[in-house]
Amino acid sequence: MIYLITIYCLLFSVLSWKRIHWALALVVFGLPTYLIRFTIGSIPFTLLEAMILVLFLVWLIKKVKSKESIQFSNYKWWALIFLVFSTFSIFISPDRIVALGIWKAYFIEPILFFIVFINVVKKREHWNLIVNALGLSALLVAIPAIIQKFTAWGISNPFWADESTRRVVSWYGFPNAVGLYLAPIVVLFVGLLVRALIGGLGKSSKVKGKSRGKELLTFLFYCFVVFLSMAAIVFAKSEGALIGIVVAVIFLGIFYPNKKLRIATVIVLVAVALLVTIVPPVRTYAVEKATMSDLSGQIRLQQWRETWEMLKDNKAFEGAGLSGYQTEVEPHHQEGIFFNFEKDPDFQRKVFLFDDKYKADHWQPTEIYMYPHNFFLNFWSEIGLLGMLAVVMLLIKFTLNYLRVKKPENREMYLILIAVMAAIVVHGLVDVQYFKNDLSVLWWLVFGMSTALMKNVKCKTTIKNKN
């Protein structure tokens, strides 16, 4: 296998030298390739990491050769602080070797990708290439997930593979990974569809013949990305992802600069509110999720209590260190929780998991997860309080940078990116965003796209926009 990977990296380096924009797009398309793992000596790598490192090295050589200056964004100082505290967390970690691997994959390489992105993406063609690559990447994940729904192919967990309790996993080992990756992409492409429809798809008199056909094909591609990705998320039963998408789309509907869209959004919200109020099953479900009174909600609440106890126990400033959460939280961990399964709507589906003792006592054993499953607690426990605050400042900077965008079409696109980030953060409140190879690069890709908009990169995409 190592020989095939070597050949691939050599070919990728040639592509990077001759067509660096295509190489960058290939990295975006290949975000799930972190699942292809190998070692060089005793150092573990993934194919995604190899591509990023080759891309950065080739780009740097070309920069030095051309004597061009390296461009930075106004995120640079907060990104540097973020990187400094992640580095400090290596020395806090109880296992520094594992921490080094996490630091390399989740911090160094994504930021290297970000640096290349903001220096390379300068034209509309570059922007379109990246957007299309991201859409194809979503299909790469969504299509196998949809096939799994009807065949159970590739689902190793018997409970998830069983037809009555099936949850798809695509190329990943667990269902939530599908939602974590696809939800931000769905929001991005929903935003692109909104721009296309409001902009007047195919109505411009200047759009004729092949151009109109290309425009319609692009629109259909966006539709396929949204539809198939949403289907995969539903089949994965990733509720956090669905909630994140709903919140992001509501944000987009309210703040997008179109009066009719705002009115339609308000009407839909009122209709949904009436539905929740009038229909008892819907109301019960909404209350359970809002109060986190179902089984998954109770497990999350216990995780957060344990994490808070761990942080209070002399870990509030430095956190547990990279990869140190499971070790440091163990003294505070409860082995299980009491839960009344009969009140859980999914009782019949879940109860057979436990032996007779657990059925009788309503006792749910709980494990120690790798992370606290909360966006802010994840960063706090891994890179400390100041590292978490650097993340908060990056988010604030990201939002305020909307005011720096001058072109109307870029401001529209920036609102879509804010909605994408909203989906990431909202989903991350109950799950583990960022701390996965593809998610960390996707995070910095969103920041890179925002930087491109601030630098007035044209982002109209192939579909015309009357504005």
Parent domain of 423 = 2-284+372-454
Three-class SS of 181-235: HHHHHHHHHHHHHHHHHHHCCCCCCCCCHHHHHHHHHHHHHHHHHHHHHHHHHHH
Q: Does residue 399 sit within a domain?
A: yes
Longest dimension (CA), the chain: 73
* Token code pair at residue 6: 């070597």
Give the pLDDT score at 109.
97
Q: Does residue 131 sit within a domain?
A: yes
Q: Does residue 23 sit within a domain?
A: yes
For every residue of 254-304, DSSP letters joined together read HHSS-HHHHHHHHHHHHHHHHHHHH-HHHHHHHHHHHHT-SHHHHHHHHHH
Q: Does residue 437 sit within a domain?
A: yes
Q: Are 176 and 233 in contact (CB under 8 A)?
A: no
Give the pLDDT score at 200.
63
Give the pLDDT score at 42.
83
Q: Are 444 and 75 in contact (CB under 8 A)?
A: no
3-class SS of residue 46: strand
Give the pLDDT score at 11.
96
* Token code pair at residue 326: 């499971």
Instruction: Based on DSSP, count helices (H) and strands (E) in the chain, helices before strands.
Output: 20, 4
Residue 71 DSSP code:
P
3-class SS of residue 336: strand
Q: Are 450 and 444 in contact (CB under 8 A)?
A: no
**Exposure class string for 125-157: b at 16+ Cβ within 10 A, else e:** ebbbbbbbbbbebbbbbbbbbbbbbeebeebee
**pTM metric for this prediction:** 0.90
- Using CA atoms, how far apart are residues 435 and 414, in angstroms rounded to an integer? 24
The number of folded domains in the chain is: 1
Q: Does residue 460 sit within a domain?
A: no
* Token code pair at residue 75: 């995120």
Tally Cβ neighbours within 10 Å of residue 420. Answer: 27
3-class SS of residue 45: strand
3-class SS of residue 358: helix
389: which residues sit within 8 A by CB, 6+ positions away?
none
Q: Are 322 and 383 in contact (CB under 8 A)?
A: yes
- Using CA atoms, how far apart are residues 273 and 111, in angstroms rounded to an integer? 42
* Token code pair at residue 158: 């018997």
Residue 158, amino acid: P
Give the pLDDT score at 185.
97
Provide the residue-wise pLDDT of the chain in tens; the chain has 467 residues: 788 999 999 999 999 999 999 999 999 999 999 999 998 888 899 999 999 999 999 999 999 998 888 888 899 999 999 999 999 999 999 999 999 999 999 999 999 999 999 999 988 899 999 999 999 999 999 999 999 999 999 999 999 999 988 999 999 989 999 999 999 999 999 999 999 888 765 555 455 556 777 888 999 999 999 999 999 999 999 999 999 999 999 999 999 988 999 999 999 999 999 998 998 888 888 888 888 877 788 888 889 999 999 998 878 899 999 999 999 999 888 877 766 655 554 544 444 444 444 444 466 677 888 999 999 999 999 999 999 999 999 999 999 999 999 888 889 999 999 999 999 999 999 999 899 999 999 999 999 999 999 887 766 554 444 43
Q: Does residue 332 sit within a domain?
A: no
Q: H or E stretch including 236? A: helix 209-236
- Using CA atoms, how far apart are residues 270 and 273, in angstroms rounded to an integer? 5
Q: Does residue 420 sit within a domain?
A: yes
Q: Are 441 and 49 in contact (CB under 8 A)?
A: no
Residue 186, amino acid: V
Residue 134 vs residues 24, 141, 181, 416: alpha-carbon distances, Å: 11, 11, 11, 15
Q: Does residue 64 sit within a domain?
A: yes
Q: 408-428 and 176-199 helices cross at what angle (nearest 10)? A: 160
